[in-house]
Structure 1
Amino acid sequence: MPDNHGVETLNELLSASLWARSLTPAQLERVEAETQVREFAAGAFVCRKGEPVEQWIGVVDGLVKMTSVGPSGKTTTFTGVTSGGWFGEGSLLKDRTRKYDIETLRASRIALMPRATFTWLLDTDLGFNRFLLMQLNERLGQFISVVEQDRLLEPDARVARSLAGLFNPLLYPDQAADIQISQEEIGYLSGVSRQRVNQALQVLEKAGLVRPAYGGISIVDLEGLRRFGE
């Protein structure tokens, strides 16, 4: 079930990525040549906690979730990453092993940029460095929100915030107002049962924040979703 903002190939992913827009043709050619695209079935692990961090990861097409299992066995979902998104730069900058699992929620095509390519961009392109600062700041905000969501928010608000997180204009600059996502997938991202997601969506629709769309959800009031439950 692909997203509908037009990212289907590595070239289109790069065209939709803010950091790639400042690259020279020669830089872009090297990135395209050295970045691999792999296909993963739904429910597959793109990478596992504890594995060596050797790649920066982009979602060409699909939907993945970033999770971690604590000592008590509780699973925390930090965020979902949809088509057009890149992640894992923090681990490449400071860690040798990954601190979380990345699992596909549907069949997905994933771009894998080698550490050497990532480091070369970091060393040679000012625009790439500026993008990483912005990206890291946005991710930090998301993770802080997850802590608040997990401890304080009731299910309707958790669903609202999880949906809003997929429409961050800095992380996903070309995301359309309609997103193809199932209630089951929303449940995986928000930590809420599918049945409870259905109830939450009805509440959000009555509040004028979302409306049903073919195969997914249409966002009517993004700021309202972000503030829901405050």
Structure 2
Amino acid sequence: MQQYDVEKIKWPTSLSATVKEKLLNIAYYGDNFTPQVSTNAKPQHPGVYYFIRGLATFSYTTSNMKNIRGCVFGGGDWIGANSLFREKSLFLVPETLTPIEFLYFPRDKIEKLSMTSPEVYQWLFYCIGNTQPKIMQSQLTALHDKTCRIVYTLLELARYTPVLLGSTPSIRISQQQLSTVTGLSRPRINEVLKTLEKKGEISLERGCIHIVEQAGLDKYLDELNTMFHDPRDNIA
């Protein structure tokens, strides 16, 4: 794999230097995700993924492409550990929003390493803790109206968007991509975005959404149960 400094990784828990090096030695570097197409079949690339940089959405759906539930992941996030040992899996639909780089830790090599280094189980436990709150929150958010679901996604994307002092977050995402992660149709997406724009809370341009009044957007989530994950926290 491409050489990568072990200390640059945002490990989800404290690990010994030895285990960190061993984990890094089994990892592969990548910069392109492919859909994990699997329902009755086993996942094509089971394992754990670590985002070095970039931004992407991952939507979990059934084989008929219904019941989509999407989550946003970016630099420093870990995904995959929560479904590592499942024999069957849902379709995983990735959507890259900005250029990504990641490390891939294959399941078979994780299993082999865990036989001699039990500390690997601690790493997996905390990797799950990094991902599961977002997945659980996406289930709760899906029960709410279309405006709440769209605003939730916009604020979640804003958390990963670098902002210069005095400027507003600019999220590069198309309506089709927003449709994929929210599970809403493009006409509904367009309707909500136009309404938010008329209220002066966002501004729109092709392939980009500018957050103009975050305080106004925050209020849409006041009725949302954010017990697992609140995107209003720590927006960049």
Q: TM-score range by the shorter chain?
A: 0.5 to 0.7
Aligned residue in 2 for 1:45? 35
Aligned length: 206
Deviation, structure 1 residue 197: 2.5
How big is the alpha-carbon RMSD for the aligned residues of Structure 1 and Structure 2? 4.0
Shift of 1:55: 0.5
- Whether 1:133 aligns to 2:129 is yes
Of 83, 87, 92, 1:101 maps to: 92
Q: TM-score, normalised by structure 2?
A: 0.64
- Give me the TM-score of the superposition, normalised by structure 1: 0.65
- What runs of 5+ residues in structure 1 fail to find an aligned partner? 1-8
Q: Distance in 2 between matches of 1:229 and 1:179?
A: 22
Matching of residue 82 in structure 1 with residue 73 in structure 2: yes
Whole-angstrom CA distance in 2 between matches of 1:229 and 1:145: 7
Task: Say if 1:201 and 1:112 are closer, same or farther in 2 by CA, change over 3 A.
Answer: same
Q: Which residue of 1 aligns with 2:177?
A: 185
**Mapped pair 1:223 → 2:182:** no
Cα 1:68–1:101 change in 2 (3 A) is same
Q: Which residue of 1 aligns with 2:18?
A: 26
Q: CA deviation at 1:95?
A: 1.5
More helix by share: 1
Q: In structure 2, do the counterparts of structure 1 residues 189 and 87 end up closer, same or farther at CA, with 3 Å as the change threshold?
A: same
Identity %: 16
8 A Cα contact 2:38 2:88, kept in partner: no
Ranges in structure 2 where 5+ consecutive residues have no aligned partner: 163-168, 226-236
The residue type equivalent to 2:67 in the other structure is T
Superposition deviation, residue 186 in structure 1: 1.0
Q: Secondary structure at the match of 2:67?
A: strand
Larger Rg: 2
The residue aligned with 2:190 is 198
Structure 1 partner of 2:141 = 145
